A = this chain, B = another copy of it.
Amino acid sequence: MKRVYAFNEGNASMKDLLGGKGANLAEMTRLDFPVPQGFTISTKACLEYLENDKQLLEELKNEINQAVSAMEETTNKKFNDPNDLLLVSVRSGAKFSMPGMMDTILNLGLNDENVEKLAKLTNDERFAYDCYRRLLQMFGNVVYEIKMDKFEKILNDTKNKNHIHYDSELSADLLKQIVLDYQKVYEEELGHPFPQDVYEQIYAAVEAVFSSWNNQRAIVYRKLNNIPDDLGTAVNIQEMVFGNKGDDCGTGVLFTRNPANGENKLYGEYLTNAQGEDVVAGIRTPVSITRLQEQFPEIYEQILDLTDRLEKHYGDIQDVEFTIEQSKLYILQTRNGKRTAQAAVKVAVDLVHEGILSPKEALMTINPESLHTLLHPAFDPKAVDNSPVISKLGLPASPGAATGQIVFDADTAKSWADEGKEVILVRHETSPEDIVGMNSATAIVTSQGGMTSHAAVVARGMGKCCVAGCSELEINEEKKQLQYPGGTLKEGDIISVDGTSGCLYLGEIPTIAGGANENFDQIMDWAREYATLAIRMNAETANDIENGLRFGAVGIGLVRTEHMFFQEDRLIAIRRFLLAKDKELRANILEKIKEYQTEDFTHIFELMQDKPVVVRLLDAPLHEFLPHAENEIANVAKVLEIDAESLVDRIHAMQEINPMMGHRGCRMGMTYPELYLTQAEAILRSAIKFAKQGISVKPEIMIPLVSNQSELKFLKEEIKAQLDQVLEEEKITVDYSIGVMIETPRACLIADQLANDAAFFSFGTNDLTQLTFGYSRDDAGKFLNQYLETGVLKDDPFQTIDTDAVAELVETATNKGREIDNQLKIGVCGELGGDPRSIQHFHKFGLSYVSCSPYRVPVAQLAAAQATISNL
């Protein structure tokens, strides 16, 4: 097993082995980019280390030593060599980019002797000691887990004592003292000094990077981003170049296009006389990349040229780290750039128009899940005009608009959000420790840091609204309050955050639906062109239906008729029905219900016209329609003119121990067929109205919770007989069909039997998941979170399909159904119908469509297209 690869031994396709960063460094080396030389220790070596009780194998040490020798030859530098001193950086690099999650150490190779050699070599004592103190600080923190505060305090105390504002103003002598003080911290905290042996430094750094794969924040990030735990991370060891050697030096981060809006213009920041950490950490506020043109015009040209080549080479927007060492440019890293959904859409379309990508390739560059952020509501502009401004000085770090209560720490953010509150996390600057809280917040606000600060990068990745670096805010995290020019806010106060403009407002601002633009439309057009799966929506209100149509839904996959009964007059009608004592009365009420329902379906068909509409017949347990609170019972008894006691008796008789598995769905249809017949007739009579105008509406009547063939057969035949009689009376035809909702494990296993009677299948993935696991979704909270946190479950099976069992049942049912009818229309109307990862499976099984909530239609559409493209 080969564990170590020199940069010139790899290429971009080796991400599994070399990690994303290592593969890209190898690729750039291959392309003759100005990359500092080095080597990569593979992810396999990491896994080997973790499995080997965290012991660094001798074999690995040997390979590292050999690679160092080779590097010494290529660079013409040597460890400890007073004439050509080699220093290196050690950086983690997993397969998937995990910003801020893994750790970096710079300037390895320095020790008490080498720092003097460096001073002589560079003729810059200040620079040499600054490098050393950075190494001591990073190494101590990363390798030995010494708190960063310990070092920061020494640094700040020294600055304060000497009335110094910027680190760069520290003199060599002061830095020497700092180095001595830092070394004391080692003795105090660890009982042993900083290791002077360079190889010992490297081994320890490699072990630290390897171990950091399993640190808490890495685990959380992976969970949030669905990255498997068993990949491991690579380690990149690279010759140091210095952005902090003087004013002809600098370091920066740039995107080849604007990651917020996709504009095709270099976008980024840099700092002169600084090392990389200074930019990302947001400690000094960097300047815009455009300023580089004035300061280093030649380098700017070189960057323009290199980034253009990089973008063409990778076919995607690039996120590049660079360093200028004494007017020479080095590219330290490139990777596909994280971006907002808006930018992703624009960049994808632009790259196609620029001839860099084909539409198929462009579709693959967009994360479907991110699209819904595009559709999120923005603030109503009129309301914004009347809202008191907190600040307009923030950076628009991640677009969107959100209102919520402010909190000042991640834990409170999480716990308030868990209580159902909308919270806005306000921090000086965020750090990886805040990830969970950021994920819980609806928006993030910081007073420090730029567009590439931790808060900004992470928020964009999460698709969360973020305003960064709003320096007008004086935040007191301890007192949980903030001061702004106009006043003071404390924990729990409501503010509104506009991540698109960077503005903050007092109080709540109403929102309007998020707008899609022509780029979005273009992406959706391409997605529709490539997707095999059709996308429908789950909807019954006019508002939802209009949204879904706007987003391109080609039909309705689920009308939930029980929702229609919760309006007051309807609720009274259904209650009267349930409590009626004689047949005649019952028949009268059904007439009334038929009128209501005919009205409901007419509204739906009016909007849907000739697009197919699946209507699910009543599914809810009937007792849900009955009152339960004491005063409510009295009221209802009064309205229905019956005595409260017999109402209570009836309610008790209808109560169930496990209502989810009780008398509902088609089981209720079997005991009250007249209810189903009434609904079916209402559907048909609505359809007839349009048929008479020559509009062929397509109702698809769905029978829920079937678990055996006779239920379906009986109800289908009863309904068909009734509807065909109506059609005969009306002398008209309607293209209706009767199908079945597949939501019990048994329905999956007898799908061949069901296919004999069903015109279509639609999977109800919620109930199917509940029954397959035996988890009541209403109750699973008691253990499901724990299961997710401890990894008993990798994913929440109600959010993404369980591939081991539920997916297998879906596949079995699909195959069995298609054995009987190879044209059988099969859809998904459960919540998983809008989940991109689940859609991959539904595509693979050959389903006809998925149905989801209107705002998820574009997500599903793109996911469906990607599923098709990646299986072409």
What residues make up the interface of A, taking CB atoms closer than 8 Å to B? 656-663, 667, 670-671, 705, 707-708, 710-711, 714, 743-746, 749-750, 753, 767, 770-776, 778-780, 782-783, 786-787, 791-793, 802, 804-806, 808-809
Contacts and interface: CB of A to CB of B under 8 A. Distances in A.
A784 to B, nearest CB: 9
A769 B802 CA distance: 21
A753 B808 CA distance: 15
A558 to B, nearest CB: 18
Residue picked from A767, A775, A778, most chain B C-beta under 10 Å: A775
A658 B802 CA distance: 21
A783 B663 contact: yes
Residue with the highest number of chain B CB atoms closer than 10 Å, among A658, A787, A809: A658
A322 B869 CA distance: 81
Q: Give the number of times this chain occurs in the complex, counting copies.
A: 2
B745 A771 contact: yes
Contacts of A804: 708, 746, 749-750, 753
B776 A656 contact: yes
Given A710-B792, A783-B663, A793-B708, A657 B746 contact: no
Contacts of A805: 745-746, 749-750
Nearest to A770: B661
Contact of A661 (B661, B746, B802): B661
B782 A671 contact: yes
Nearest to A714: B792
Among A657, A786, A793, A802, chain B packs the most CB atoms within 10 A around the CB of A657
Given A663-B782, A776-B662, A792-B714, A749 B657 contact: no
A774 B670 contact: no
B776 A661 contact: yes
Contacts of A773: 707-708, 744, 746
A714 B792 CA distance: 9
Given A710-B787, A745-B774, 13 more contacts: A658-B658, A658-B776, A661-B770, A663-B783, A670-B787, A670-B792, A705-B774, A707-B773, A708-B793, A744-B774, A753-B804, A767-B774, A771-B772
Contact of A670 (B667, B750, B783): B783
A782 B743 CA distance: 20
A523 B388 CA distance: 92
B767 A809 contact: no
B774 A707 contact: yes
A659 B660 contact: no
A657 B705 contact: no
B662 A782 contact: yes
A659 B661 contact: no
A772 B782 CA distance: 23
A671 B786 contact: yes
A321 to B, nearest CB: 39
A661 B775 contact: yes
